[in-house]
Amino acid sequence: MNRNIAVLLVASAGFLAACGGDPDSPSAGAGGGEPPLTAATLGEQSVLPAADYLAQAPYAGADRANGERLAQMCKACHTMGDGGVHMIGPNLFGFFGEAAGSAERYSYSVALQGADFVWTPRALDAWLARPARFLPGNRMSFPGVSSASDRADVIAYLLEATGRKDGD
């Protein structure tokens, strides 16, 4: 085998492992044997306060420290604080409960500009499993996180880290 190809394969395997495994595996979709959830099949959503989501499974039992560690991948492209700047991706502060593609002064892909869903933990879980499958045509080059428990950990962390506090 060509040495350059071998190095590329090893590097790709390391990247996938860091991002939660192989997003093409059958377990990468929500529901195991069910078709993976997409923006087109998401349907009606209920938007709740972050505290309500955090009181429910799987977020009530999520490992927030693991979520914070895994969210470092997010921070390569996104800021999360109130008033944070847009980077490669938009600032994530306050995005739960907001329409997809609606952050001010951020240039979204045509796919996200035309998306018709709200960022809820359910939508984010399906997005994080594999963004390109959830919303084809979006520009996020992240391959996904195949572990449902890792996604729950990240989402629980993001619910706290990016949420607006009472009175905001």
Widest distance between CA atoms in the chain: 61
**Does some domain include residue 63?**
yes
**Does some domain include residue 30?**
no
pLDDT at 164: 72
Domain with residue 157: its CATH number is: 1.10.760.10
**Does some domain include residue 10?**
no
What value, to the nearest 5°, has the Cα angle with vertex 22 and ends 17 and 24? 165
**Does some domain include residue 103?**
yes
pLDDT at 4: 35
**Does some domain include residue 21?**
no
Mean pLDDT of 29-34: 57
Residue type, 55: A
Residue-averaged pLDDT of the chain: 83
pLDDT at 133 over 80: yes
More confident residue, 90 or 164: 90
pLDDT at 140: 93
> What distance in Å separates the CA atoms of residue 80 and residue 69, rounded to the nearest whole number?
14
pLDDT at 26 over 70: no
pLDDT at 34: 81
Q: Is the distance from CB of 158 to CB of 68 less than 8 angstroms?
A: no
pLDDT at 29: 44
Domain containing residue 51: 37-161
pLDDT at 145: 96
Question: Which pLDDT band, with edges at 50, 70 and 90, does 165 fall under?
Answer: low
pLDDT at 33: 72
Q: Which tens digit of pLDDT belongs to each residue from 43-73?
A: 989 899 999 999 999 999 999 999 999 999 9
For the chain, the domain total comes to 1
**Does some domain include residue 89?**
yes
**Does some domain include residue 26?**
no
pLDDT at 13 over 90: no
**Does some domain include residue 46?**
yes
